[in-house]
Chain A
Amino acid sequence: MDSKLNNSELNALFAKVCGLLPSDAEAFTKAFYDTILEGLETEEMVKINGLGTFKVIDVESRSSVDVNTGERIEIKGHKKLTFIPADSLKETINEPFAMFQPVEVDDALVDDEEESASFDDNMEEPVASDDNVEDPGVVVAEIAEEIPVEVISDEPVVASTLNIDEEMPLETVAEVVSPMKNVSTEKSVESVVAEPADAINIVENESSVPVIEQKLSVEIPEKGEQPVYDNSRGFSLKKIFTLSAFVIFLLHVVGFAAFYFFSNYFSLPEQNNVAEPINNRPLQKVENSESHSSLSMAVQDTNFVDSTAVASQNVGAETQVVDTVAPFVMVEALANRKLSEISLADTLDYAFAGTKCEHSVALEETLTKIALLHFGDKKLWPYIVKYNNMSRPNDLACGMIIEIPHLVPRK
């Protein structure tokens, strides 16, 4: 089986069969092939009964492409030796496959059930589960099991050469079926992929536009023509797709809700931060104004006052409560400044009055934090930058020592 015989081995076999001497057999086979060649040379055709016809045929010149260079080349016409096997030889060689007959393929079945049409009706139904991709191996095994049984029952003659025939169909049938199955599975997968898209369309259409329901009613019967198993599978996938679409929609909704909720949540503490110093400091300020006269206030205190005033201005636009709570002086200060000027005035309305203290920058401290610490208002951080002549205010290093200025209002 499947071995390769060379000339001498064939001669030995031939000698054995004919009872010839090996040398004679060799001479005969040599003469045999030589005669064929001679006949081909003289008449270009040799016919041998039981083997076939050797022919020398003309091959027309044709243009082709050089594989390496990609250039167009012309292959010149030449002569070629061909062999046409005799019918009797063909039949004997094809004996293992003799039971196969050409079968008409029903057009309706071509796509999904080719394999069932090609072999017999008693074959099992095509497997209709979702994990179709795994199936070919199983199906092939099933077919391979069944077919040889048929062969034996239908043609007892073949059973005589069973040891050869039984194995041959097994292998070949397996080979035969596997590519076909692959094709069909691909096709079914495609159809499945196509269906869910329809399904989603349908779902959307039903909810939104009633008019398109007419279209749907047209589409659905078409699907009904397909085999039942296909429909059921399509249905389950439809479910899955609609479900997943719904879940994704829900996730989006939740995401947006969370975004809005947390954006509010995060903005709240900031307001509190700003509001706190105002609520606390006006009281201090009131104390201050009561205890000292406004002119004899310590510089630090004025600073304090002013920064709080600025802070209150900032929030004043947002929360009216401050106005009522804030002491009289602050309300005056508020009234003196237009709202539109506030943002600009905050950074321009102060003059430096010497160094208040030195500050060593701690870990995770920012200029705004430092400004908040020393001036009570984070918006005054540019004064620190200006006072320290910082070229790159973003590069605040931990442990850096910066000077905090006294801030005196210009007015």
Chain B
Amino acid sequence: MNNKEFIAALAKKRGMSSSETAKQVDALLEVMVERLKENDQITVSNFGVFEVKMRKERISVNPKTGQRMLIPPKLVPAFRPSTRLKDKFK
């Protein structure tokens, strides 16, 4: 299911037009991203947790050349499904 299909399904459910639904989805995502940027944790009950994790810096070695690279630390968005959701798909 790609983005288009998803919007269509959501629009059908909500009884709204696709374009309007797309706008609202964008708005929702914007709010979520804004919170994530502030290092917040977003818990959605019965779905999971959106959070930001920090990956520490590390040294990776290119196996071909043996060249060692220092990969800088970075912040990564992450999603943790709730236990109920996990069990559902198990």
- Taken residue by residue from 82 to 113, chain A's Cβ proximity to chain B (1 for < 8 Å, 0 otherwise) reads as 01010001101111110011111101001000
Rounded to whole angstroms, the CA-CA distance of A53 and B65 in the bound complex is 33
Rounded to whole angstroms, the CA-CA distance of A52 and B44 in the bound complex is 16
Q: Which residue of A lies closest to B5 (CB)?
A: A39
The answer to whether B9 touches A35, judged by C-beta atoms less than 8 angstroms apart, is yes
Is the CB of A49 closer than 8 A to any CB of chain B? yes
Taking the nearest CB of chain A, how far is it from the CB of B82, in angstroms? 10
Q: Which residue of B lies closest to A179 (CB)?
A: B56
- Taken residue by residue from 25 to 60, chain B's Cβ proximity to chain A (1 for < 8 Å, 0 otherwise) reads as 111111111011111111111111000101011010
Taking the nearest CB of chain B, how far is it from the CB of A31, in angstroms? 5
Taking the nearest CB of chain B, how far is it from the CB of A278, in angstroms? 87
Rounded to whole angstroms, the CA-CA distance of A101 and B69 in the bound complex is 10
Scan residues 52-77 of chain B and give those whose CB is less than 8 A from a CB of chain A: 52, 54, 56-57, 59, 67-77
Is the CB of A5 closer than 8 A to any CB of chain B? yes
Is the CB of A47 closer than 8 A to any CB of chain B? yes
State which of B41, B70, B74 has its C-beta within 8 Å of the C-beta of A105. Answer: B70
Is the CB of A17 closer than 8 A to any CB of chain B? yes
Taking the nearest CB of chain B, how far is it from the CB of A28, in angstroms? 6
CB neighbours of A36 from chain B (8 A): 6, 47
State which of B26, B37, B44 has its C-beta within 8 Å of the C-beta of A93. Answer: B37
With a 10 A CB-CB cut-off, give which of A42, A45, A46, A49 has the most chain B CB atoms.
Answer: A49
Is the CB of A78 closer than 8 A to any CB of chain B? yes
CB neighbours of B6 from chain A (8 A): 35-36, 39, 46-48
The answer to whether B56 touches A175, judged by C-beta atoms less than 8 angstroms apart, is yes
Q: A17-B30, A47-B1, A78-B90 are in contact. Are A92 and B37 (CB under 8 A)?
A: yes
CB neighbours of A45 from chain B (8 A): 1
Q: How many residues of B contact A (CB 8 A)?
A: 56
Q: Which residue of B lies closest to A169 (CB)?
A: B73
The answer to whether A3 touches B67, judged by C-beta atoms less than 8 angstroms apart, is no
Rounded to whole angstroms, the CA-CA distance of A43 and B9 in the bound complex is 13
Q: Which residue of B lies closest to A56 (CB)?
A: B89
**Majority SS at the chain A contact face:** helix
Q: A34-B13, A39-B5, A43-B1 are in contact. Are A172 and B73 (CB under 8 A)?
A: yes
- Taken residue by residue from 10 to 53, chain A's Cβ proximity to chain B (1 for < 8 Å, 0 otherwise) reads as 10011001101000000111011111111110110111111110
CB neighbours of B27 from chain A (8 A): 14, 17-18
Is the CB of A212 closer than 8 A to any CB of chain B? no
Q: Which residue of B lies closest to A59 (CB)?
A: B90
Taking the nearest CB of chain B, how far is it from the CB of A184, in angstroms? 12
Q: A35-B9, A35-B13 are in contact. Are A97 and B89 (CB under 8 A)?
A: no
The answer to whether A3 touches B28, judged by C-beta atoms less than 8 angstroms apart, is no
CB neighbours of A10 from chain B (8 A): 31-32, 35, 42, 44
Rounded to whole angstroms, the CA-CA distance of A18 and B32 in the bound complex is 13
State which of B13, B40, B44, B89 has its C-beta within 8 Å of the C-beta of A31. Answer: B13
Chain B residues within 8 Å of A, Cβ to Cβ: 1-3, 5-6, 9-10, 13-14, 24-33, 35-48, 52, 54, 56-57, 59, 67-79, 81, 85-86, 89-90
Beyond the given A39-B9, A80-B89, A89-B77, please list 9 additional residue pairs across the A-B interface where CB-CB is below 8 A.
Answer: A6-B43, A17-B27, A33-B44, A50-B26, A52-B77, A81-B85, A85-B76, A94-B74, A110-B68
Nearest first, the 8 closest Cβ-Cβ pairs linking A and B are A100-B72, A83-B79, A39-B1, A105-B68, A85-B77, A49-B3, A81-B81, A43-B1
A–B complex contacts, Cβ < 8 Å, 11 sampled: A28-B24, A35-B10, A36-B6, A36-B47, A79-B89, A89-B77, A102-B69, A103-B70, A114-B70, A118-B57, A180-B57
Chain A residues within 8 Å of B, Cβ to Cβ: 1-7, 10, 13-14, 17-18, 20, 27-29, 31-40, 42-43, 45-52, 54, 56, 78-81, 83, 85, 89-90, 92-97, 100-105, 107, 110, 114, 117-118, 164, 172, 175-176, 179-180
